[in-house]
């Protein structure tokens, strides 16, 4: 029998070859199609990054305009789509609402079962265009607010924020929200991306792959952490209040959401550093530097007490709070941003597939008879 060493959580296991992205922890670089994600996040827009992930190249101005106009043509949801939410519990979790919406959306797509590169690219673009509409308007529907129609006169990410808040973002808000979508866009092989590739590896369709990825990302150890961070900061209220709360939680051996990372381990997530800078700019604009002080105190405590560093969620959460995004939508926004990475991975999986089917180390009894 071949080696039966179990790797808990597949920690460090290389699952596939890919040209989509790679986390170079030593160089502290998040490589996306050969570029450094942090440098991209400071120099380009989310739409240009989407083009890079779907088409493999950064777009020139003409290609960017063509790509964004193709997206805008796909903003609309099928007629009556939102009526799906009429008969669901009004307190439905926003990630469950998104998962339900993406799953239903597949049945409206004429290319659903076509796994060719061109069809998967077209479906990835449709999902990228429609997911912000589902995120914003399933929430408005379930909370009794009036759905907000997409605005084609706004840039892609500004329209997304507008559909959530109902207000056209300021230049600073638009810039910071767009940057947050870029740092959330793609991150190698997190649980949700692996889930999508495992599903796609059976030749299941891209909508099923995204549906599984939403289910995975909801978990508090994964994407659900950003919402938990904001509730933690609100519970702490002040710098001293947060300090007391954190020491109490650490004494009870509780996990502090927004800290630690399977890959970065004892290093700062480079994306958190970028979002921390964004938080400082936004907090200054809002007169909420107290929030920055609270986050810094929390960061110092976890580093001093546990040798743990913030991950992206720790600083993305207060940024979303100051952008007036409802807390239940933090993880759905994370998923909407990750739609570009998921598309690239599913396209790659279908183009060069090998069914995922690991083995086990059996620890149960043998040779029993009924």
270 forms part of the interface with ligand SDX (CB under 6 A): no
Q: Which two tokens mark 285?
A: 């604009």
Tell me if 341 sits within 8 A of 31, measured CB to CB: no
Contact 201, 212 (CB under 8 A): no
* Alpha-carbon distances, residue 259 vs 33, 203, 246 (angstroms): 27, 36, 12
The single residue among 38, 256, 337, 344 that binds ligand SDX, judged by CB under 6 A, is 256
């978990």: which residue's tokens?
219
Q: Which two tokens stand for residue 128?
A: 């990228």
How many residues belong to the site for ligand SDX (CB under 6 A)?
20
Positions 60 through 79 that interact with ligand SDX (CB under 6 A): none
Shortest gap between Cβ of 183 and ligand SDX (angstroms)? Answer: 9
Q: Which stretch binds ligand SDX (CB under 6 A): 54-62, 162-170, 205-213, 220-228?
A: 220-228
Selected binder of ligand SDX within 257, 279, 325, 329 (CB under 6 A)? 257
Active-site residue, 140 included: no
User: Which span (117-125, 216-224, 276-284, 323-331) binds ligand SDX, by CB under 6 A?
Assistant: 216-224
Sequence-separated (6 or more) residues with CB below 8 Å from residue 232: 242, 245, 256, 257, 258
Show the beta-strand stretches assigned E in 12-64. 21-24, 29-32, 35-36
Q: What is the Cα Rg of the chain in Å?
A: 21
- Tokens representing residue 1 in the block: 């029998």
Considering the complex, what minimum distance in angstroms separates the CB of residue 7 from ligand SDX? 12
Query: Minimal distance in Å, beta carbon 27 to ligand SDX?
Result: 17
Q: How far is the CB of 250 from ligand SDX (least distance, A)?
A: 7
The residue range among 109-117, 120-128, 132-140, 250-258 that interacts with ligand SDX, by the rule CB under 6 A, is 250-258
CA gap 215, 219 in Å, rounded? 8
User: What is d(CA 229, CA 205) in angstroms, rounded to the nearest whole number?
Assistant: 34
Single residue of 259, 309, 315, 320 touching ligand SDX by CB under 6 A:
259
303 lines the binding site for ligand SDX (CB under 6 A): no
Q: Does 121 bind ligand SDX (CB under 6 A)?
A: no
207 binds ligand SDX (CB under 6 A): no
Q: Report how far residue 15's alpha carbon sits from residue 3's, in angstroms, rounded to the nearest whole number.
A: 17
Contact yes or no for 218/224 (Cβ under 8 A)? yes
* Candidate ranges 149-157, 219-227, 273-281, 346-354; the one touching ligand SDX (CB under 6 A): 219-227
Strand-strand pairing, 21-24 and 29-32: antiparallel
78 by DSSP, 3-state: which?
A: coil
Cβ at position 309, least distance to ligand SDX in Å: 10
Structure tokens at 250: 């650490």
Instruction: Determine whether 300 is an active site residue.
Output: no
* Least CB distance to ligand SDX at residue 296 (A): 17
User: How far is the CA of 267 from the CAs of 18, 271, 273, 311, in angstroms?
Assistant: 24, 11, 11, 9
- Choose which of 132, 150, 190, 208 interacts with ligand SDX (CB under 6 A): 190
Q: Using CA atoms, how far apart are residues 182 and 6, in angstroms rounded to an integer?
A: 35
* Catalytic residue, candidates 51, 313, 345, 350: 313
Catalytic hit among 51, 140, 261, 350: 261
Q: Residues 307-346 vs ligand SDX: string with x where CB under 6 A?
A: -x--xxx---------------------------------
**Per rule CB under 6 A, is residue 196 in the interface with ligand SDX?**
no
- Piece of 13-21, 51-59, 304-312, 324-332 that binds ligand SDX (CB under 6 A): 304-312
Which residues carry out catalysis? Answer: 261, 313
Q: Which residues bind ligand SDX (CB under 6 A)?
A: 9, 187, 190, 221-223, 225, 255-262, 306, 308, 311-313
């Amino acid at each position: 029998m071949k080696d039966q060493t179990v790797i808990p959580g597949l920690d460090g296991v290389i699952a596939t070859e890919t040209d989509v992205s790679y986390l170079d922890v030593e160089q502290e670089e998040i490589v996306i199609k050969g570029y450094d994600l942090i440098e991209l996040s400071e120099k380009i827009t989310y739409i240009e990054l989407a083009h890079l992930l779907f088409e493999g190249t950064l777009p020139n101005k003409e290609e960017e305009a063509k790509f964004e106009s193709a997206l805008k043509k796909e903003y609309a949801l099928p007629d009556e789509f939102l009526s799906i939410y009429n008969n669901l519990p009004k307190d439905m979790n926003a990630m469950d609402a998104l998962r339900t919406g993406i799953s239903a959306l597949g049945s409206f797509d004429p290319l659903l079962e076509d796994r060719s590169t061109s069809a998967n690219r077209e479906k990835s673009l449709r999902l990228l265009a429609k997911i912000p509409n589902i995120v914003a308007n399933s929430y408005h529907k379930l909370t009794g607010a009036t759905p907000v129609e997409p605005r084609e006169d706004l840039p892609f990410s500004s329209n997304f924020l507008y559909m959530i808040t109902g207000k056209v973002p300021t230049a600073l808000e638009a810039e910071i929200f767009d940057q947050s979508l870029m740092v959330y866009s793609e991150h190698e092989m997190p649980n949700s991306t692996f889930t999508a590739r495992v599903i796609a590896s059976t030749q299941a369709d891209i909508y099923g792959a995204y549906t599984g990825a939403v289910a995975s990302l909801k978990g508090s150890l994964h994407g659900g952490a950003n919402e938990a961070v904001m509730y933690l900061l609100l519970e702490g209220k002040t710098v001293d209040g947060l300090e007391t709360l954190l020491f109490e939680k650490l004494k009870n051996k509780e996990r502090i959401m927004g800290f630690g990372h399977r890959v970065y381990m004892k290093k700062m997530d480079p994306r958190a550093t970028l979002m921390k800078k964004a938080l400082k700019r936004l907090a200054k604009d809002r007169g909420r530097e107290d929030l920055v002080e609270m986050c810094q105190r929390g960061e110092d405590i976890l580093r001093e007490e546990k040798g743990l560093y913030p991950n992206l969620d720790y600083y993305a959460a207060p940024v979303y709070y100051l952008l007036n995004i409802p807390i239940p939508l933090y993880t759905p926004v994370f998923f909407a941003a990750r739609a570009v990475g998921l598309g690239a991975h599913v396209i790659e999986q279908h183009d060069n597939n090998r069914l995922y089917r690991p083995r086990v180390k059996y620890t149960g009894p043998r040779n029993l008879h009924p």
